[in-house]
C-alpha cells in the first residue's frame, strides 16, 4: 500500500528525517518507535500529505503523493490523529466535530453516521457538549470517531494514548484489534507497541531508520534499544543496597532488563 523510496525531510533550521526506505502492506499495523525528536511526527505528516519530502518519493498504491495528488480524494483516504487533540478541534459541539468530515466529503446519512460513531466510541451522551470542555481521553475518542466515521483506508496515530488514563488505553488497544484499516502507530511506549503491532520501524535520535522487523527481534536487541533511547539506565535502592540496570516502558512481564 505504502512505499517510501529514499524519503528525507529537512526543516529550514534543522534536519527532520534522514533518507529512508519503507513499505507497509494494506491491512498491516506498524509501530513507529523512537524517542521524542526522532522524526516520528515528521514521517506521519509526510504520510498524511501535510509535509512533502525534500528528497525521495512517497507512493500510495503506486501513485506518487505530492502537492498535486494530495487532493480531496487523497485526504478522504488518509486520516491522522495528532498527539494533542485540541490542535484539531474547531467546531462548537462534539456532534459537529464528528459530522464535519462526513459533510466535507459529501457522504450521505450524516446524522445516522455521526450518532453511530459516537455510540461506538462511548461518547453519545457528549454530542451537545463543547469539545474543549472534555477530558483528554474524551477528546481523543471524539477525534478518532470523527476520523473513522469517514472510513479512511490509512489511519496515522501520533502518540494516541498520551492523554488517556489506563482504562481508556485498554479500550483503545481493543479498538486497534478490530480496525480493518492500515494503521501506523507512532509511540515511544514499547508496551503499547508490543500489545498492538507485530512489526516495528525504529528511528534514532539522528532521524535515521535503524530497525524494521518483528517486535520480538527488537526487544531482544539491548544495544539497539539503547541506541534508539527507548530504554535507560539509572540507580535505585533494592533490598538495602543501590544498584542500576536498564529500564523501559515495556511491561508485559517486567519493566527492566
Please state the separation of Cα 200 from the chain's center in Å: 12
- pLDDT cut 70: percent of the chain above it: 90
User: Which range in 99-113, 166-180, 234-248 is most confidently predicted, on average pLDDT?
Assistant: 99-113
Q: What is the mean pLDDT of the chain?
A: 90
If one counts the domains in the chain, the total is 1
In this structure, is residue 121 part of a structural domain?
yes
Answer whether residue 244 shows pLDDT above 50. Answer: no
What residue has cell string 518483528? Answer: 214
Where in the sequence is the domain holding 77, given as residue range(s)?
A: 2-248
In a domain, 159, yes or no: yes
pLDDT surpassing 50 at residue 245: no
CATH number of the domain where residue 27 is located: 3.40.50.300
pTM, full prediction: 0.90
Amino acid at each position: 500500500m505504502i512505499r517510501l523510496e529514499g524519503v528525507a525531510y529537512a526543516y529550514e533550521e534543522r534536519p527532520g528525517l534522514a533518507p529512508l526506505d519503507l513499505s507497509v502492506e494494506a491491512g498491516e499495523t506498524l509501530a513507529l518507535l523512537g524517542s521524542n525528536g526522532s522524526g516520528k511526527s515528521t514521517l506521519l505528516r509526510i504520510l498524511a500529505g501535510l509535509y512533502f519530502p525534500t528528497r525521495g518519493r512517497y507512493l500510495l498504491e503506486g501513485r506518487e503523493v505530492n502537492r498535486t495528488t494530495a487532493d480531496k480524494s487523497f485526504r478522504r483516504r488518509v486520516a491522522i490523529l495528532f498527539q494533542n487533540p485540541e490542535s484539531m478541534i474547531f467546531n462548537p459541539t462534539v456532534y459537529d466535530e464528528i459530522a464535519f468530515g462526513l459533510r466535507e466529503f459529501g457522504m450521505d446519512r450524516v446524522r445516522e453516521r455521526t450518532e453511530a460513531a459516537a455510540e461506538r466510541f462511548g461518547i453519545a451522551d457528549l454530542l451537545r457538549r463543547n469539545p474543549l470542555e472534555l477530558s483528554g481521553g474524551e477528546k481523543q475518542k471524539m477525534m478518532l470517531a470523527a476520523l473513522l466515521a469517514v472510513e479512511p483506508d490509512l489511519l496515522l496515530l501520533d502518540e494516541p494514548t498520551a492523554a488517556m488514563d489506563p482504562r481508556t488505553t485498554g479500550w483503545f488497544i481493543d479498538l486497534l484489534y478490530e480496525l480493518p484499516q492500515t494503521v501506523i502507530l507512532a509511540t515511544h511506549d514499547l508496551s503499547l507497541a508490543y500489545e498492538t503491532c507485530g512489526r516495528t520501524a525504529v528511528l534514532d535520535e539522528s532521524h535515521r531508520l535503524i530497525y524494521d522487523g518483528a517486535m520480538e527481534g527488537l526487544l531482544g536487541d539491548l544495544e539497539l534499544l539503547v541506541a534508539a533511547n527507548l530504554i535507560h539506565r539509572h540507580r535505585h535502592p533494592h533490598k538495602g543496597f543501590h544498584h542500576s540496570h536498564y529500564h523501559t516502558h515495556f511491561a508485559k512481564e517486567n519493566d527492566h532488563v
